[in-house]
Amino acid sequence: MEQPIKILIVEDNVIIADDMQSMLEEIGYEIVDNVIVYEQAVEVLKTQQVDLVLIDIILASDKTGIDLGKHIRENYDIPFIFVTSNSDRATVENAKTVKPNGYLVKPFEQQDLYTSIEIALSNFIYGKQNVAKGLSSEVVEKDVPMSNSVLKDSIFVKKQHLYYRIQFGDIQFIKADNVYLEVNTVDKKFLVRSPLKDYLEKLPQNKFYRAHKSYIVNVDHIDAINSKDIMINNTLIPISKDFKEFIISAMNS
């Protein structure tokens, strides 16, 4: 089973820090530690595996969150997000100098925290993949290490107050229904608020295809096909002419 994302919280307001930890653990992340000053954070990074760091810019020490961001950039290959009450121009410009992977302004909701983390992780992996394209596998392995805990084959989907982690391979098909998408697995359905086109971009391109204007399907789950439909788990799904030709071509190749 995929390991949870390991997060370090660096926040000198213990009430906010504990609240963040509760939000993150409820979603399914693992909190490596919850510290209040630069020096503690440096020690945790040195001794434990961390996939992402949430950093308050103003800390209870001489060194700030921006100093910590610089330390991470110089010594570690992991993303970090600034979490701060300050959104003034000077603070933002100062924060930009260490190239954070995100900037979240307090106060925020659980959904804001989740979204910031997932986008930061996704962009971090995407950037590393682009760098790796021009390198040999030997160089990538040696010089561009990637944490084995970062999301690679799954996605989080919200249901009620929880975010469920779904392996891409378990998704059978996705149906557009007004402003929502219905994500269907073998035994569950989840509602997601997203355009179908945008959601398709998050899924593996070699498995998921736009079968119809209202459907994305995982080709590994297709049980049968006729001139107008495919069947997945006893559900008939309409298909476009282009998708029909694609499937027939794939069957004959």
**Confidence at 129, pLDDT banded by 50, 70, 90:** low
Residue spans in the chain of domains classed CATH 3.40.50.2300:
6-124
User: Omega before 107 cis (within 30°)?
Assistant: yes
Given a contact cutoff of 8 angstroms between Cβ atoms, the answer to whether 184 and 175 are in contact is: yes
pLDDT 10s digits, 195-220: 888 888 888 888 999 999 999 999 99
- Spatial distance between the Cα atoms of 77 and 53, rounded to a whole number of angstroms: 11
pLDDT at 150: 41
pTM across the whole model: 0.55
CA 101 to chain centre: 12
pLDDT over 60 (residue 148): no
Domain 154-252 has CATH 2.40.50.1020: yes
Give pLDDT, residue 135: 43
Gap between the Cα atoms of 248 and 242, Å rounded: 10
pLDDT score recorded for residue 9: 97
Rounded Cα distance, 183 and 127, in Å: 27
For 187-197, how does the pLDDT look when each residue is reduced to its tens digit (9 = 90+)?
A: 888 888 788 88
Complete edge-to-edge strand list for the sheet that includes strand 229-232:
224-225, 229-232, 235-238
Q: What is the pLDDT of residue 158?
A: 66
Mean pLDDT over 85-89 rounds to 85
Give the pLDDT of residue 111.
Answer: 86
User: What's the mean per-residue pLDDT of the chain?
Assistant: 84
Render pLDDT for 149-183 as a digit per residue (tens, 0 to 9). 344 577 777 665 566 778 889 999 999 987 788 99
29-86 residue pLDDT tens: 999 999 999 999 999 999 999 999 999 999 988 999 999 999 999 999 899 999 998 8
What is residue 1's predicted lDDT score, i.e. its pLDDT? 39
Position 160 scores a pLDDT of 58
Torsion angle in degrees (nearest 10) through CA of 36, 42, 46, 49: 50
Burial 172-199 (b: 16+ CB within 10 A, else e): bbbbbeeeebebbbeeeebeeeeebeeb
- Specify the domain boundaries for CATH 2.40.50.1020 within the chain: 154-252
Cβ proximity of 212 and 238 under 8 Å: yes
174 SS3 class: strand
The CATH code of domain 6-124 reads 3.40.50.2300
According to the model, what pLDDT value does residue 2 have? 53
Cβ–Cβ < 8 Å for 52, 121? yes
